[in-house]
Structure 1
Amino acid sequence: MTALRLALGELRRMTAGTLPKLAILALSLVPLLYGAVYLYANWDPYGNLDGVKAALVVEDDGADTADGRLDVGATVRESLLEDGTFDWKLVDSADAADRGVKDGTYDFALTIPEDFSAGLASTSDLGSARQASLHVTTNDANNYLLSSIVDKLTASIHDSVATEVGEETANRLLTGFSTVHGQLERAANGAGQLADGAASADSGAAELTTGLGTLSAGAKELVSGQEQLVAGANQLSAGAGGLSTGANQLSSGAAGLSSGLAQLSSSTALLPQQTQQLADGARQVAAGTAGLESALTASADASRQGVTDAVTRLIQQGVLTPEQAGALQQELAAAPSGATGLEQLQTLADGAAAVSAGADQLAASAPQLTSGIAAANDGAAQVSGGAAELSAGAAELSSGAAGLAGGEQQALDGSRELAAGADSAAAGAGTLREGLGQLRDGSAELSQQLKNGAGNVPNPNEEERATASTVIADPLTVSTVNQAEAGSYGAGLAPYFLVLAMWVGIFMLAQALRPISRRALASNAPAWKIALGGWLPFLAVSLVQATVLYAVVCVGLGLDPVHPVLAWGLLLMASMAFSALVQGLVALLGSVGKFAVLVLLVLQLVSSGGTFPWQTIPAPLHLAHDALPMGYMVTGLRQLLYGGDLSQVTAVAVGLLGYTAAGLLLSLLAARRHRLWTLKTLQPEIDI
């Protein structure tokens, strides 16, 4: 008896009547009912949210801003109604909406409060900025998962509104940056001008310092000159007093001189006449002496009496004075006679001639002398008057000189104060120059730093502001590259429910098919044939189950595998492994084996990672994921359905072959064990 004949015999037994045939058909459709119907019900739940009734309350009053009217609440309302994700119902008040959620009229409620726009607009005033808020009312008694869906909705609204408002706020901020940039540039220019002015002031301070040094030196020279001037003024005052005294004396002397000159003028009034007479007498003397010289020449021996007579006549004529005549006679008496007398007489004649000539000159000059004396008299009178006036002026000069000396002393004191002030000013000018130098350097540094600061402050144009506003409002953009995309919620759950349905379907086969034929056990067939013959009916039906399920999901629900043939082949391999495991466990353990299959189902439900990643399950369940086949099948189907890494599929296929071998080994052990019949075999305690 071959294993195939054993399998066909079991199948004929199961299809011997109408009801058995229907039972086989029903068992073939169990995975379809479990997997396909569930996937159908959950194929695209997010695409059918328009049947969820949601209350929408818009109480937003809007807000006035510098850029115009802001009415974000109305914008959100129009956006939600136009999107149509939910069946939105406009409700007048938040209280009515909350009551509707509580009694089940609405699944949830969204309220936009009256200060919504005002809160969003408050960002323009940093002192009163506040967050705008949305109010969501949910009720887990209506549906638990709906709260998660609503959270995603509100998050979407939040992101959309935040981005829009953020762009506007960022635009204002960037516009402010442009303003700040311009102001900093103007400030930098002003600081540059200040630096230039400080440099000019520093140069002027240098000149001022030099000038004040010169002023200080000049002030000291002024003090020295003032001291000399004070000394001179004191001397002038003393000299003016002496001048006044001398002028008085001069006035007195000039008056006396005038009086004397008047007398002299009176005395010399006859001088011209007298001098003329003297000239005439001198000529007569000259003539007489000439005659006397002739007489003496004619007679050297003439008597001295004749000389005496001649002298007497000269006295009488007024030519000689008695004294002159006496002296002449004495000389004549003492003189030797002869030639010596003649020589003396010649001398006298020459003198008389000279006297006559001088007398003529005196007579000629006498009128001028008389006029000069008269003029001198007039001048002396004038000198006397001028001396009187000089005396009065000298008195005034003395008084003025005394006042000048006092004023010069005050000027000296002022000059000394000026010198001290000039020294202080020179020192202050030095300090000023030092400060101006610091001001120059500091203003130059300020100008440079302001220019640097202006360069660091953004100055975007309109296009750059628009781009930057978008970036600031939403700085993160997520570029998602889905290497293997499911396409829909149902497609994402398909690997999990296909594999789960296959296990459940094969588990249901164990309720109708015998894992090992008792007829085969009673025969002499080898144990491996008995084991193989018991597994092949399970395999045949499970292959049908897998094919029908896969076809309905692909054609009926629209699953579009990237590798459809390979995916079908992997499902067939799963049917082979699952059927071997289920048949082997039930064959070996009987009713306990069915319970073990159920336990394995539960363990694989929670550890296969069909919904949440298996890494999120508790650590003790990780062992179940690593040891049982359903998790590997979910991974393998995902790669084939969505277009993932085919190398993982190879490992899954090898693993399925291993699970198949393990199931067949259990079936072989069962065939060998059940060859020995016992009372418990004929009458089991539990026969499920």
Structure 2
Amino acid sequence: MPMRNAFKIAKTDFRNIGTNWVAAVLIGGLIFLPSLYAWFNIFASWDPYGRTDRLPVAVVNEDRGADVRDEHIDVGRQLVDSLKENHSIDWKFTGRDDAMDRVEKGEYFAAIVVPDDFSEKLATVVTGEPQKAEMEYYVNEKINSIAPKITEKGATSVVETLSSEFTATVNNVIFDMFNQIGLEIEKDLPDIEKFEQYVFTAEKELPGMHDLLESANKDAENADAMISKAQAAMPEANRLTSEGLGTINRTLGYLDSAEKQLAAIAPQIDKDLATASRVSKEINDMLTKIQNAELDTTQLDDAKKRMDDRMTRAITSVGNIQDQLKNLKELAAAAPDPVSPGNTPVPDLPVKPEDGDATAPPIAPDVDLPDIKPDVTLPERRNLIDQAIESTGNLQALLQEAQMNARAVDEAATGYAEQAKGWISDTQKITQNVSVSIDSYSKEYHDTIKPTVDREIAGAKKTLAEAKNMLTEIQNTLPEAEKVLNSTAGDLAKGETVIQDVLNQYPYVYSKVTELADRIRQLQGETDINDIVDLLLNNPSTEKDFFEQPIVLHENKMFPIKNYGTGMTPFYTVLSLWVGCLLLISLLSTEVHQEELFHPRTVYFGRLLTFSVIGLLQTIIVTTGDLLILGVKAAEPLGFILSALFISLVFMSIVYTLVSVFGDVGKAMAIVLLVLQIAGSGGTYPVVLLPDFFRALSPFLPFTYAIDLMREMTGGAVQSNVVRDVAVLLGVAIVFILIGTFFKARLTNSMNKLLKKSRETGLFH
């Protein structure tokens, strides 16, 4: 019976609306108003981040660039060039003063300023103390609460892009260097392996080296004694060199005298040879005439006398030649052999030490001593002179024999004419031989003896001059050698000190080499150098791309939402349904005329049906408009509508019950509940981001579950979530209907008294 009366009340309400056009218009407006509220908000927030290109942000570039290893970089200019191609925000390129003025006035939402030292600080990455580059960001936050977040995101994106590109570039250089190092190591791998072997060899050979150092230390002491001995011998070397120069000078004097005397006697020898030759020919001619003529004693005597005189002159001439040659021999004998052994002593000078001879004192590195070559031509020259004297003696003997035969002819001429002719014939033969010998000797003298003697004297003088130059150079070298000896003595003392220091450091060096060898063996056991080379070898371009974006985010949208407006549709749709309920209870009465005819509980259910039907109409218009007019792409369109209808019934049970039971106080309660739900239901921001009060309140708010249910239908339904949301909302509706059922009759009189009292003020209807 009570429910029949409730349906009767609802039927009467709709008949009255249908027969009263004013009521129909008002109800129609109430049905459409919630949809407008939802549609306008959804459309306004449809795709706000897709229109950020209308958001003006100033860009000020003051970067003056920088030089890095002879290359000019200008990151600020590169930024401006890249932003000119970036249309995500309405970038305004201007100066600092203009940008600051427009940001202050609100014409620009924000400004990004690249300072003048931006590139310069980035370039410090190649130095030992890199500095971070800074960009200035100015934002006017009073213009809008969302715009600063968008502009900040844009500025952050610029910084991240620059940082990413810079990091990639730097890493490209670094990995290029690593690649070069890897190539070098790979190239030098045999040398590295050799180095390892050297270390092991050094470890093995160090004890032997220690013994060698000790031996070198002893050798240095011996060398020190030898240098002292050489220093003591320097005065004797100076004396011997001076004596050798004196001997050479005297020998050169003898040779000059011999050369002059030979030059002086040469014309006389030529003259005497010519005389002897001429006399020999005259004697031969005369003997020919005597032999052919009749022997006349008087003529024979004259001829004999002339022949004997001429023969005497010839013998004298040959004797003079022989005497001159003997004088030359005496000069040659008196001149000592300047380079023969034992004649001119050469001082013992410091010699260049042989390799490995640690005891021999070094000589001056820039002094080259000439080599001494012994003269072998002087004895030959003396032999030639002896041969010439012998030849001259033979010639003189022939002449004397001829003279003796001529005198024998003179003695036997008387009474032995015929026999004298035989003797004359023999004498003629002798003279002929003498003439031939004189001519041969003259030719030999001019062609052999004299040129040889001249050449050998000149050679001896040249040799002596070279020896003199050599000894002079030695004499000039002796002070340098003495200086070198003194320097060597000092260096040797330092060397002894160094060797001693090395010996003292030997235990430390040996321990370090052993430690290094052990470490190499350990590394060989732990790491393969080929693995290190493989790690260093890389493709710099590939590495640059990797560090430009080392992590790639592959986004997988489990429940894709097309745009921001679609994402906000559940919130604004649920909100419009609650607002629709508030509009209804604000304009329509929860009571009926002739209230005394119906039980309060019947009135409660009767008007609940009326409000619920109007609320369902509001919901149908809102949801179909979302899908058809705005184009919201819901994953479950039918579920979207049905869920909204269910939520409308739940909201209507809440709002209607509050106003029906509590009157105007209930209206206030419904509004307060709306405010709390807008802030704490997570409709705009995730609940976890809300303050603790709203986080604690959220599980008790119908909006929380209503919005979540609509999101399930919009993005994609998860059955467990849908069941939970429906169960909670259904439970809330049942609770409020029970409140209305049990408290409507009990609180009606009290609420009517309060209402009557409030109307007395004239402020409430």
Same fold (TM over 0.5): yes
Q: Distance in 2 between matches of 1:67 and 1:25?
A: 79
SS of 2:587's equivalent?
coil
1:38 is displaced (CA, Å) by 1.1
Identity %: 25
Count the aligned residue pairs. 477
Q: Distance in 2 between matches of 1:597 and 1:428?
A: 100
Q: Distance in 2 between matches of 1:19 and 1:640?
A: 37
Q: What residue identity is the alignment partner of 1:633?
A: A
Q: Deviations over 1:31-77 (max 9, x none)?
A: 11222101111111111122222222223333333495433323322
Q: Does 1:53 align with 2:51?
A: no
1:86 is displaced (CA, Å) by 2.1
Residue 516 of structure 1 corresponds to 591
1:170 and 1:469 in contact (8 A); partners too? yes
SS of 2:586's equivalent?
coil
2:667 to 594, 601, 619: 594
2:663 and 2:755 in contact (8 A); partners too? no
1:177 and 1:457 in contact (8 A); partners too? no
1:120 is displaced (CA, Å) by 2.4
CA 1:447–1:74: 2 relative to 1, 3 Å: same
Q: How does 1:503-542 map to 2 (within 5 A)?
A: 503-519=578-594, 521-523=595-597, 528-542=601-615
1:500 to 542, 563, 575: 575
1:608 is displaced (CA, Å) by 0.7
SS of 2:113's equivalent?
strand
Using the size of structure 1 for normalisation, the TM-score is 0.62
Residue 263 of structure 2 corresponds to none
1:6 and 1:533 in contact (8 A); partners too? yes
Residue 334 of structure 2 corresponds to none
1:183 is displaced (CA, Å) by 6.5
CA 1:442–1:596: 2 relative to 1, 3 Å: closer
Q: Distance in 2 between matches of 1:20 and 1:679?
A: 25
1:4 is displaced (CA, Å) by 2.2
SS of 1:514's equivalent?
coil
CA 1:431–1:600: 2 relative to 1, 3 Å: closer
Q: What residue identity is the alignment partner of 2:642?
A: G
Q: Does 1:123 align with 2:196?
A: no
Residue 84 of structure 1 corresponds to 87
Q: How does 1:338-377 map to 2 (within 5 A)?
A: none
SS of 1:511's equivalent?
helix
1:433 is displaced (CA, Å) by 9.2
Q: How does 1:391-470 map to 2 (within 5 A)?
A: 438=511, 441-442=514-515, 444-445=517-518, 447-448=520-521, 452=527, 460=535, 464-470=539-545
Q: Distance in 1 between matches of 2:532 and 2:66?
A: 31
1:449 is displaced (CA, Å) by 6.6
Using the size of structure 2 for normalisation, the TM-score is 0.56
Residue 178 of structure 2 corresponds to 177
Q: Deviations over 1:308-347 (max 9, x none)?
A: xxxxxxxxxxxxxxxxxxxxxxxxxxxxxxxxxxxxxxxx
Residue 40 of structure 1 corresponds to 43
Residue 195 of structure 1 corresponds to 199
CA 1:200–1:489: 2 relative to 1, 3 Å: same
CA 1:454–1:123: 2 relative to 1, 3 Å: farther
Q: Distance in 2 between matches of 1:483 and 1:78?
A: 38
2:66 and 2:74 in contact (8 A); partners too? yes
1:62 and 1:73 in contact (8 A); partners too? yes
SS of 1:83's equivalent?
coil
1:115 is displaced (CA, Å) by 2.6
Q: What residue identity is the alignment partner of 2:672?
A: V
CA 1:122–1:459: 2 relative to 1, 3 Å: farther
Q: What residue identity is the alignment partner of 1:537?
A: T
Q: How does 1:237-252 map to 2 (within 5 A)?
A: none
Higher deviation after alignment, 183-192 or 620-629: 183-192
1:9 to 4, 8, 12: 12
1:208 is displaced (CA, Å) by 5.7
Q: Does 1:663 align with 2:731?
A: no
1:585 and 1:593 in contact (8 A); partners too? yes
Residue 656 of structure 2 corresponds to 583
1:506 and 1:579 in contact (8 A); partners too? yes
1:634 is displaced (CA, Å) by 1.2
Q: Deviations over 1:344-399 (max 9, x none)?
A: xxxxxxxxxxxxxxxxxxxxxxxxxxxxxxxxxxxxxxxxxxxxxxxxxxxxxxxx
Q: What residue identity is the alignment partner of 1:609?
A: G
1:14 and 1:20 in contact (8 A); partners too? yes
SS of 1:89's equivalent?
strand
Residue 29 of structure 2 corresponds to 26
Residue 147 of structure 2 corresponds to 146
Q: Deviations over 1:553-574 (max 9, x none)?
A: 2222221111111121111011
Residue 101 of structure 1 corresponds to 103
CA 1:182–1:6: 2 relative to 1, 3 Å: same
SS of 1:518's equivalent?
coil
1:195 and 1:439 in contact (8 A); partners too? no
1:490 is displaced (CA, Å) by 1.8
Residue 563 of structure 1 corresponds to 636
1:590 is displaced (CA, Å) by 1.1
SS of 2:141's equivalent?
coil
Residue 293 of structure 1 corresponds to none
CA 1:573–1:67: 2 relative to 1, 3 Å: farther
SS of 1:558's equivalent?
coil
Segments of structure 2 that go 5 or more residues without pairing to the other structure are: 223-499
1:195 is displaced (CA, Å) by 2.1
CA 1:676–1:64: 2 relative to 1, 3 Å: closer
Q: Deviations over 1:56-112 (max 9, x none)?
A: 222333333349543332332233222212222221x21111112112332222222
Q: Distance in 2 between matches of 1:9 and 1:486?
A: 45
1:629 is displaced (CA, Å) by 0.7
Q: Distance in 1 between matches of 2:686 and 2:109?
A: 29
Q: Distance in 2 between matches of 1:509 and 1:429?
A: 107
Q: Distance in 1 between matches of 2:692 and 2:576?
A: 26
Q: What residue identity is the alignment partner of 2:23?
A: P
Higher deviation after alignment, 642-651 or 614-623: 614-623
Q: How does 1:299-318 map to 2 (within 5 A)?
A: none
Q: What residue identity is the alignment partner of 2:714?
A: L
Higher deviation after alignment, 586-595 or 58-67: 58-67
Q: Distance in 1 between matches of 2:31 and 2:207?
A: 108
Larger Rg: 1
Q: What residue identity is the alignment partner of 2:121?
A: G
Residue 272 of structure 2 corresponds to none
Q: What residue identity is the alignment partner of 1:116?
A: F
CA 1:436–1:647: 2 relative to 1, 3 Å: closer
1:588 is displaced (CA, Å) by 0.8
1:122 is displaced (CA, Å) by 2.3
SS of 1:612's equivalent?
coil
Residue 161 of structure 1 corresponds to 162
1:584 and 1:670 in contact (8 A); partners too? no
Q: Does 1:488 align with 2:563?
A: yes
Q: Deviations over 1:386-415 (max 9, x none)?
A: xxxxxxxxxxxxxxxxxxxxxxxxxxxxxx
SS of 1:562's equivalent?
coil
Q: Does 1:621 align with 2:694?
A: yes
Q: What residue identity is the alignment partner of 1:486?
A: I
Q: What residue identity is the alignment partner of 1:523?
A: L
CA 1:62–1:5: 2 relative to 1, 3 Å: same
1:101 and 1:108 in contact (8 A); partners too? yes
Q: Distance in 1 between matches of 2:199 and 2:660?
A: 103
SS of 2:138's equivalent?
strand
Q: Distance in 2 between matches of 1:5 and 1:663?
A: 22
Q: Distance in 2 between matches of 1:583 and 1:492?
A: 29
Residue 307 of structure 1 corresponds to none
Q: What residue identity is the alignment partner of 1:198?
A: A
1:575 is displaced (CA, Å) by 0.5
1:595 is displaced (CA, Å) by 1.1
